[in-house]
Amino acid sequence: MTYRSRDLLALEPLTADELSFLLDQSKSFQEIQRHPLKKLATLRGKTVALAFFENSTRTRISFGTAASRLGADTMNLQAEASSLKKGESLLDTVHTLDAMKPDCLVMRHSASGAPEFVARHLEIPVINAGDGTHEHPSQGLLDALTIRDRKGTIRNLNITILGDIKHSRVARSNIHLLGKFGCRFTLCGPAMWVPRELEEIGARAGTKIRRVFRIEEALEDADVVLALRVQSERLHEPALSLADYILLYQLSAERLKHAKAEAIVLHPGPLNRGVEITPEVADSAQSCILEQVTNGIAVRMALLFLLMTAGDGDATHPSSETKAAERPQAPMNRRATDAKSESKSDVNEVKDPTHAAR
Amino acid sequence: MLLVKNGRVLDPATKTDEILDVLLDGERVADVAASGKIPANGTEVFDATGMIVAPGFIDIHAHLREPGQENSETIETGTRSAARGGFTAVCCMPNTKPVNDNASVTRFILDRAKSSASVRVWPIGAASVGSKGEAIAEIAAMKQAGAVAVSDDGKPIATAKLARQVMDYCRSLDIPVIEHAEDVSLAAGAVMREGVTSTRLGLAGMPAAAESVCVARDVQLVDLTGARLHIAHLSTKGSLEQVRAAKHQGLRVTCEVTPHHFTLIDEDVQYDSRYKMNPPLAAREDREALLAGLAEGTVDAIATDHAPHEPALKDVEFDRAPFGILGFETALALSLEQLVHTGRISLMRLVELFTTGPARVLGIERKLAKGQAADVTIFSTEHSWTYSAGDSPSKSRNSPFDKRAFRGAPMATIVAGRIVYKH
């Protein structure tokens, strides 16, 4: 099994086999995160363009770190979508970036579908780092990886998602991924934030999805609880009382007792401590919040590795690189081998051994 | 003089359906007679053998973008596209820049049409000043200058109070009010229809009620005022039911449906702004209801809502793209494909939806008879062709039907006795 698409735009169209493959690939990069020397040379000479048209700290840093741990350089573009209104169109901005010859574009945008739209116009791989209220594929993968580590499997689990599901790209990516492994979903939150259409979407995909409006009932038998960040005010939507939200839906230790004893808690961050989740739960042994962050880098390294070496002929499994990490002097060899299949500009670099040093 | 020979004349006004010759003399129809009865005598002849000859098609809803947005369309390019689509008259909506809310702009449009248009241009004036929903526009002056109806299209008449007053006033002026029915608070921020697809794509959706809530308001106000109300681009089952009920009640309420709403549904929407229009593509059951309404007679007209936007405006993120798609050149072919070839309606009914239907809404006559306007649409129900937006005389390219193969097409468009488009 391999991953055949040029881009990673959404998890919805991927098969269970493809998703398993991506998770397995991430596994080997997880080991690197535990190593004192984390930098590889796999993508040396390559450049990742990070284009964040919407505010993001953790995802941008995570992708940037993933790129740098693979030895790639990064180009950063940070622009509020609104500032683009004044001048350049998205396509012009992206074509300008592309003209600087990056090897991959990682893109976040407030408009759903913007990465897909951009990908239609570019030759290089595009990774969706979160688009509007559509999907956040790398978050879906890192959540699944985290669950698999803790639970030993991602098959047939009871997953409860709490909060503003309507506007959550994280919820959608989780449903599309875990649904393909037989997981059952209980969605719980203020009714206007839990679209009834999701039940129909689940039914069409063969995934059991139900809406429940009492948190105690929603947590019953849960293996995994995913608490979403609550944003009480949104453009075009009437605000909801935070006091009401806390009263009805805050994930507290008391409420968590309704879930299975070994249930785990995930949150995509950033946390609103004391709103959607109590500090006690966030810091408990059941919480996986910091593991999610670490796994984020592993997943993103796997994605960059797969998509950026797809055209390089026999892109080898990164395990050889893991060994390289143990032998700081070794990457030179790997570097020279790589250069054979790469472009001319890279060959020049190889002559200078300092470039290969970590 | 132009002699259209051997065509199958379909005229809903006179219930004619036979092979006839039609002689046009400048502005007027000179004669309609059995095939071969009119001597050619050296006049120009159009051989319509195997074709349908109908009264000139009227598009009661289009955007020609002039004045103000000439990068997207002009009266010249838009009407050339309309002629290709078989339309002999186009009603242009007032949301130009500046808005057609006064007689000067109405006259400007008509002057431009006189010097550059391929087909007749019938301006629709704004209902309120600047279509801002505050003061009532100079409707009488615009009517005198040539406006055929009023509308704040692009948005609804802002308040029930204003709608009521516009209706009262327009009743006294005997001019129809065309409503873009939308509850703007329900539709705020939405870029497509709310449903499974909008939820999957993460695109903000407006519920069907965004349209029908406004239709309900307006029907109540027609009951109050006795005005002639026409619902533009009606797209939902709920709205249609209300128009049907209003008609049964004897209220003067009419409606139009666009080819894209009876052809596509929300499930067809992709992250491609050629699928973004307002009202948005509706649910499967809405489309079924529209098809039924077209067949049973509740729907009065097929209108294109031709809404050109230059590529620079449309080739952006779905959220940021303006609403609207091209319509003239695919309207007849889509209608044949969806309505006639499927056996849902007769050819006579199809012609009615493009001719006497919209004419009734405007309060004018449309028929192919001696002394009538020499506007004729000649089309084939069988001609196979493929639409290419790139080949359109329109300045814009925003059609979801680009590269679609069709059976049936306009073969000639005749305005005032002159062939303005020939296949």
On whether residue A3 sits in a domain, the answer given is no
Q: In terms of DSSP bridges, do strands B57-62 and B87-92 run parallel, antiparallel, or are they unpaired? A: parallel
Subunit contact B199:A195, Cβ cutoff 8 A: yes
State which residues form the domain around B201.
Answer: 57-362
State which residues form the domain around A153.
Answer: 137-292
Residues of A with a Cβ under 8 Å from any B Cβ are: 12, 89-91, 109-114, 116-117, 131-135, 166, 169, 172, 195, 197-198, 200-201, 204, 235-237
pLDDT one-digit tens code per residue, B206-246: 999 999 999 999 999 999 999 999 999 999 999 999 999 99
CB atoms within 10 A of CB B276: 25
Same domain, B172 and B143: yes
On whether residue A328 sits in a domain, the answer given is yes
A345 pLDDT band (50/70/90 cuts)? very low
Same domain, A49 and A178: no
A79 pLDDT band (50/70/90 cuts)? confident
Subunit contact B318:A113, Cβ cutoff 8 A: yes
On whether residue A327 sits in a domain, the answer given is yes
Q: Amino acid identity of A59?
A: T
Same domain, A143 and A250: yes
Residue A320 above 60 pLDDT? no
Name which of A256-270, A320-334, B3-17 the model is least confident about.
A320-334
Q: Which of A292, A310, A340 is the last residue of a domain?
A: A292
Q: How far is CA B127 from CA B69, B154, B175, B212, B255, in A?
A: 21, 12, 11, 20, 18
Q: What is the rounded distance in angstroms from the CA atom of residue A346 to the CA atom of residue A136? A: 33
Same domain, B291 and B409: no
- Grouping H, G, I as helix, E, B as strand and the rest as coil, residue A353 is helix
Q: How far is CA A38 from CA A234, A321, A328, in A?
A: 40, 10, 10
Subunit contact B199:A201, Cβ cutoff 8 A: yes
Residue B315: list chain A partners with CB under 8 A: 89, 91
Nearest residue in chain B measured CA to CA from A85:
B320
Same domain, A45 and A29: yes
Q: What is the rounded distance in angstroms from the CA atom of residue B177 to the CA atom of residue B163? A: 9
Q: Amino acid identity of B148?
A: V
Residues of B with a Cβ under 8 Å from any A Cβ are: 188-189, 194-196, 198-204, 271-272, 312, 315-320
- Grouping H, G, I as helix, E, B as strand and the rest as coil, residue B103 is helix
Residue A132: list chain B partners with CB under 8 A: 202-203, 319
Residue A26 C-beta-side C-alpha neighbours within 13 Å: 27
Same domain, B42 and B90: no
Same domain, B354 and B239: yes
Residue A114: list chain B partners with CB under 8 A: 271, 317-319
Query: Which of A114, A169, A197 lies closest to B196 in CB terms?
Result: A197
Q: What is the largest CA-CA distance in chain A?
A: 65
Query: What's the mean pLDDT in B370-384?
Result: 98
The interface predicted TM-score (ipTM) is: 0.91
Subunit contact A169:B317, Cβ cutoff 8 A: no
Q: How far is B165 from chain A (nearest CA, A)?
A: 29
Give the pLDDT confidence score for residue B40 in this predicted structure.
84
- Name every residue whose Cβ is closer than 8 Å to that of residue A53 and which is 6 or more positions away in sequence: A77, A79, A80, A81, A84, A90, A107, A108, A109, A110, A114
What length is written for chain A?
358
Residue B117 above 90 pLDDT? yes
On whether residue B83 sits in a domain, the answer given is yes
> Which active-site residues of A does the annotation give?
58-59, 86, 108, 136
Q: How far is CA B38 from CA A327, B2, B33, B236, B371, in A?
A: 99, 11, 7, 48, 16
Q: Which of B362, B390, B405 is the last residue of a domain?
A: B362
A325 pLDDT band (50/70/90 cuts)? very low
Residue A335 above 80 pLDDT? no
Query: Which of A91, A112, A204 lies closest to B202 in CB terms?
Result: A112
Query: What's the mean pLDDT in B373-388?
Result: 98
CB atoms within 10 A of CB B421: 24
In chain B, % of residues over pLDDT 90: 99
Buried b (16+ CB within 10 A) or exposed e, A15-30: eeebbbbbbebbbbbb
pLDDT one-digit tens code per residue, A56-67: 889 999 999 999
Q: How far is B387 from chain A (nearest CA, A)?
A: 22
- Name every residue whose Cβ is closer than 8 Å to that of residue A356 and which is 6 or more positions away in sequence: A41, A44, A331, A332, A335, A350
Q: What is the rounded distance in angstroms from the CA atom of residue A105 to the CA atom of residue A119? A: 9
Same domain, B246 and B133: yes
Nearest residue in chain B measured CA to CA from A205:
B200
Same domain, A283 and A227: yes
Helix axes B284-296, B237-248, angle to 10 degrees: 30
On whether residue B268 sits in a domain, the answer given is yes
Same domain, A287 and A301: no
Q: How far is B202 from chain A (nearest CA, A)?
A: 4
On whether residue A25 sits in a domain, the answer given is yes
- Grouping H, G, I as helix, E, B as strand and the rest as coil, residue A90 is helix
- Grouping H, G, I as helix, E, B as strand and the rest as coil, residue A35 is coil
Alpha helices in chain A (DSSP H): 16-34, 58-69, 81-84, 90-99, 114-119, 137-151, 169-178, 197-205, 215-219, 242-249, 253-256, 279-282, 289-309, 319-326, 331-340, 344-350
In chain B, % of residues over pLDDT 70: 100
Q: What is the rounded distance in angstroms from the CA atom of residue B252 to the CA atom of residue B177? A: 11
Residue B390 above 60 pLDDT? yes
Q: How far is B358 from chain A (nearest CA, A)?
A: 37
Same domain, B401 and B289: no
Residue A101 above 70 pLDDT? yes
**Are B359 and B58 contacting, i.e. CB atoms less than 8 angstroms apart?**
yes
Same domain, A217 and A159: yes
Q: How many domains does chain B have?
A: 2
B59, B101, B305, B375: the catalytic one is B305
Give the pLDDT confidence score for residue A351 in this predicted structure.
31
Same domain, B325 and B379: no
On whether residue A240 sits in a domain, the answer given is yes
pLDDT one-digit tens code per residue, A21-43: 999 999 999 999 999 999 999 99
Instruction: Choose the mutation target among B273, B284, B317, B319 for the interface with A, i.e. most A CBs under 10 Å.
Output: B317
On whether residue A251 sits in a domain, the answer given is yes
Query: What's the mean pLDDT in B393-403?
Result: 98
Tokens describing residue A94: 């992206």
On whether residue B367 sits in a domain, the answer given is no
Query: What's the mean pLDDT in A278-289?
Result: 97
Same domain, A184 and A287: yes
Same domain, B44 and B64: no
Same domain, B318 and B385: no
B343 pLDDT band (50/70/90 cuts)? very high
Same domain, A282 and A243: yes
Q: Which of A277, A292, A307 is the last residue of a domain?
A: A292
Residue A109: list chain B partners with CB under 8 A: 317
B319 is catalytic: no
Query: A212 pairs with which residues across the strands?
Result: A188
On whether residue B25 sits in a domain, the answer given is yes
pLDDT one-digit tens code per residue, A173-231: 999 999 999 999 999 999 999 999 999 999 999 999 999 999 999 999 999 999 999 98
Subunit contact A201:B202, Cβ cutoff 8 A: no
Q: Which of B362, B386, B412 is the last residue of a domain?
A: B362
Subunit contact A112:B320, Cβ cutoff 8 A: no
Same domain, A214 and A166: yes
On whether residue B124 sits in a domain, the answer given is yes
Give the pLDDT confidence score for residue A2 in this predicted structure.
83
Q: How far is A116 from chain B (nearest CA, A)?
A: 7
Sheet of A158-162, strands arranged across: A209-212, A184-188, A158-162, A224-227, A264-266
Residue A318 above 60 pLDDT? no
Same domain, B164 and B269: yes
- Grouping H, G, I as helix, E, B as strand and the rest as coil, residue B325 is strand
Nearest residue in chain B measured CA to CA from A172:
B200
On whether residue B307 sits in a domain, the answer given is yes
Q: What is the rounded distance in angstroms from the CA atom of residue B10 to the CA atom of residue B422? A: 19
Give the pLDDT confidence score for residue A86 in this predicted structure.
63
Same domain, A274 and A166: yes
On whether residue A1 sits in a domain, the answer given is no
Q: Which of B322, B341, B362 is the last residue of a domain?
A: B362
Subunit contact B271:A200, Cβ cutoff 8 A: no
Residue A324 above 50 pLDDT? no
Same domain, B188 and B299: yes
Query: What's the mean pLDDT in B380-393?
Result: 98
Phi, psi of B391, deg, nearest 5: -95, 0
On whether residue A4 sits in a domain, the answer given is no
**Are B240 and B262 contacting, i.e. CB atoms less than 8 angstroms apart?**
no
The enclosing domain of B16 has a CATH number of 2.30.40.10
Name the helix (H) or strand (E) containing B140.
helix B139-145
Subunit contact A111:B199, Cβ cutoff 8 A: no
The enclosing domain of A57 has a CATH number of 3.40.50.1370
Q: What is the mean pLDDT of chain B?
A: 98
Tokens describing residue A245: 């939200």
Same domain, A176 and A33: no
Query: Which of B194, B198, B317 lies closest to A111 in CB terms?
Result: B317
- Grouping H, G, I as helix, E, B as strand and the rest as coil, residue B220 is helix
Residue B322: list chain A partners with CB under 8 A: none
Q: How many domains does chain A have?
A: 2
Same domain, B111 and B218: yes
Same domain, A210 and A168: yes
